[in-house]
């Protein structure tokens, strides 16, 4: 059983990691092909799409997974069939509804971003791209439900393969489609970005096809034949829907946190900078550069969240067993894993911000401003990662409802400061607002954890100190190395050499400090 759980966790974590890496890699050539303005146009469409996608799926896949596992355990195959049938119907309805809603709201959303008087993307272009990406909402919700059903049956392979195939198909279609549109058909940037946006639909089709293939292949193992099922009428479809919604709502709200922060920036930067008389450059360029910086910053965040979330089932088990000593230890270990990765990763991005931005997004995309904003944004990875993991911990100990208050408090702070701070700090004001918003939400989470179960960091306090000292040692040497190499070699070699040696220095420092600690403890005995 433990091996099966470990294998499933590994498959899903690996698929998620590969998917996120693919999702990052294509941004680099896409930005080179369509430019800063084209990437901004892509962001205008993809922002509301991610929010609408979260709302249309409503956390149902996770709920389906839990309900399927629950009723399989109770040998209620009749209820499992009801769950699949009613859930699929619900996902088709919400998918179609969200598609129509986003399609019709496209002109209104476009009007929020631009007023039609600027020299950047037009209202017509933004409306067009939003409408193109909205078609994916028809496909993705049913696909997500099937993933949840497989996971509820402890069949993680199809879900993992589907995730990778979906992302790979989407990335290949985007890059091939944009190249053909611009180089062979000589279409406009607007139509090329429209092709890129349609990649979400193509990816959804590919991912759904994989799941349907496995569903057909494994149907006799997943669902018992009708003639072998004893049907009871003690649980209605309405009761099943109520149970689904009860499980799903807290998770969908928390899943909206990152898209909401990103969309607040996407849909306010142009207006706020224009209203403040900003004339250093086109506000749309700033919008694009901040978006690109976000992508880089969120890479280490995605890795740490994937690693840390594997401990959540154990935290849940300890909580319901009232084993608070073990629970405190598990939370401490979870936070230590997080610190071990996110602190040096964020620091590395900070130190190498300028060559890293220049390497990935080229001179065409404002390397001076890009490097400067990426450096300022890098430490936010620590706040975002800690917020994500503390949120998972609170969900594991059944504190989903109170989490919503912390989330929306942070969002409110972000919205207010997005309007105020850019008037003082210009472009950096939007990033500073993100710091403040996440800090409020994270503080709220930490207070609830401490109040509900307490925190025991005493046992790992030395290890926390060694992580911080090792990170400073790494940053010191990498900074010197980067400045020395910049006079002789190109950005690729700077990033490659500095990042490789930085990792090595960090690991050696950690090892050395732990050896010193071990010798001291042995001496004390």
Quick: pLDDT tens for 186-205. 888 889 999 999 998 999 99
Region 282-289: what's the mean pLDDT?
80
- Res. 477: pLDDT tops 90: yes
- Res. 2: pLDDT tops 50: no
Rounded CA-CA distance 111/127 in Å is: 9
* 413 touches 437 (CB < 8 A): yes
- Res. 476: pLDDT tops 90: yes
Confidence of residue 473 (pLDDT cuts 50, 70, 90): very high
- Res. 368: pLDDT tops 60: yes
Rounded CA-CA distance 31/28 in Å is: 5
Measured CA angle at 247 (ends 445, 14), to 5 deg:
75
- Res. 117: pLDDT tops 60: no
* 373 touches 290 (CB < 8 A): yes
At a CB cut-off of 8 Å and minimum separation 6, what does 61 contact? 144, 145, 147, 148, 151
Nearest to 120 by CA among 34, 202, 226: 34
pLDDT at 5 (0 to 100): 47
pTM listed for this prediction: 0.76
- Res. 390: pLDDT tops 70: yes
514 vs 280, which has greater pLDDT? 514
- Res. 459: pLDDT tops 80: no
Region 287-298: what's the mean pLDDT?
84
Among 198-202, 295-299, 442-446, 514-518, the least confident range: 514-518
The residues spanned by each domain of the chain are: 1-253, 256-456
Average pLDDT, the chain: 79
Nearest to 126 by CA among 152, 147, 151, 106: 106
Percent over 90 (pLDDT), the chain: 19
- Res. 380: pLDDT tops 90: yes
405 vs 281, which has greater pLDDT? 405
Rounded CA-CA distance 486/507 in Å is: 25
pLDDT at 1 (0 to 100): 42
Confidence of residue 135 (pLDDT cuts 50, 70, 90): very high
For 488, list phi and psi in degrees, rounded to 5: -125, -30
pLDDT at 379 (0 to 100): 93
pLDDT at 263 (0 to 100): 85
pLDDT at 316 (0 to 100): 65
Percent over 70 (pLDDT), the chain: 76
pLDDT digits (tens, 9 = 90+) for 218-276: 777 766 655 455 556 666 667 777 777 776 766 676 677 888 888 888 888 888 888 77
Nearest to 210 by CA among 176, 167, 153: 167
Region 86-98: what's the mean pLDDT?
85
- Res. 7: pLDDT tops 60: no
- Res. 437: pLDDT tops 90: yes
pLDDT at 435 (0 to 100): 95
pLDDT at 522 (0 to 100): 46
461 vs 43, which has greater pLDDT? 43
* 113 touches 44 (CB < 8 A): yes
Confidence of residue 312 (pLDDT cuts 50, 70, 90): low
pLDDT at 235 (0 to 100): 66
Nearest to 301 by CA among 363, 238, 349, 346: 346
Region 25-50: what's the mean pLDDT?
82
pLDDT at 389 (0 to 100): 82
pLDDT digits (tens, 9 = 90+) for 491-516: 888 888 999 999 999 999 888 877 66
Looking at mean pLDDT, say which of 51-60, 155-164, 395-404 comes out highest. Answer: 155-164
Nearest to 193 by CA among 43, 294, 48: 43
Q: Would you mind telling me the total number of residues written for the chain in this entry?
A: 525
């Amino acid at each position: 059983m433990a091996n099966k759980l470990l294998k499933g966790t590994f498959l899903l974590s690996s698929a998620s990691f590969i998917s996120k890496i693919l999702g990052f890699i294509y941004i680099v050539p896409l930005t080179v092909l369509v430019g800063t303005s084209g990437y901004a146009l892509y962001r205008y469409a993809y922002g509301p799409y991610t929010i609408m996608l979260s709302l249309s799926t409503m956390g149902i896949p996770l709920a389906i997974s839990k309900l399927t596992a629950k009723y399989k355990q109770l040998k209620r195959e009749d209820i499992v069939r009801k769950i699949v049938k009613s859930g699929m119907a619900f996902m088709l309805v919400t998918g179609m509804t969200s598609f129509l809603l986003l399609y019709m709201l496209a002109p209104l959303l476009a009007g929020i971003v631009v007023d039609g008087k600027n020299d950047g993307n037009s209202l017509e272009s933004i409306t067009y791209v939003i409408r193109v990406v909205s078609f994916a909402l028809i496909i993705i919700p049913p696909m997500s439900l099937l993933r949840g059903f497989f996971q509820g049956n402890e069949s993680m392979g199809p879900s993992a393969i589907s995730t990778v195939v979906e992302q790979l198909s989407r990335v290949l279609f985007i890059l091939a489609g944009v190249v053909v549109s611009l180089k062979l058909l000589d279409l406009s940037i607007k139509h090329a970005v429209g092709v890129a946006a349609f990649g979400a639909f193509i990816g959804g089709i590919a991912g759904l096809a994989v799941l349907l293939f496995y569903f057909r292949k494994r149907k006799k193992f997943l669902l018992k034949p009708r003639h072998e099922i004893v049907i009871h009428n003690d649980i209605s479809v309405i009761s099943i829907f109520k149970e689904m919604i009860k499980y799903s709502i807290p998770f969908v709200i928390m899943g909206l946190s990152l898209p909401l922060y990103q969309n607040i920036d996407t849909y306010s930067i142009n207006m706020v900078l224009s209203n403040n008389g900003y004339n250093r450059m086109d506000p749309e360029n700033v919008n694009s550069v901040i978006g690109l910086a976000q992508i880089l910053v969120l890479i280490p965040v995605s890795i740490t969240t994937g690693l840390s979330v594997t401990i959540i089932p154990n935290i849940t088990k300890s909580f319901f067993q009232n084993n608070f000593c073990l629970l405190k230890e598990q939370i401490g270990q979870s936070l230590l894993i997080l610190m071990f990765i996110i602190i040096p990763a964020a620091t590395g991005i900070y130190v190498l911000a300028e060559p890293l931005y220049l390497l990935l997004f080229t001179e065409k995309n404002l390397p001076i401003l890009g490097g400067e904003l990426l450096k300022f944004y890098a430490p936010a990875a620590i706040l975002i990662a800690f917020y994500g993991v503390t949120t998972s911990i609170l969900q594991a100990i059944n504190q989903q409802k109170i989490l919503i208050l912390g989330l929306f408090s942070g969002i409110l702070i972000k919205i207010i400061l997005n309007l105020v701070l850019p008037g003082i700090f210009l472009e950096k004001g939007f990033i500073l607002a993100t710091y403040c918003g996440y800090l409020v939400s994270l503080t709220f989470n930490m207070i609830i954890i401490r109040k509900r179960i307490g925190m025991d960091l005493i046992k790992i306090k030395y290890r926390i100190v060694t992580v911080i000292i090792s990170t400073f040692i790494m940053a010191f040497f990498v900074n010197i190395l980067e400045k020395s190499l910049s006079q002789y070699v190109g950005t690729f070699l700077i990033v490659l050499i500095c990042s490789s040696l930085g990792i090595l220095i960090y690991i050696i420092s950690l090892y050395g400090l732990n050896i010193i600690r071990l010798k001291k403890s042995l001496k004390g005995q």
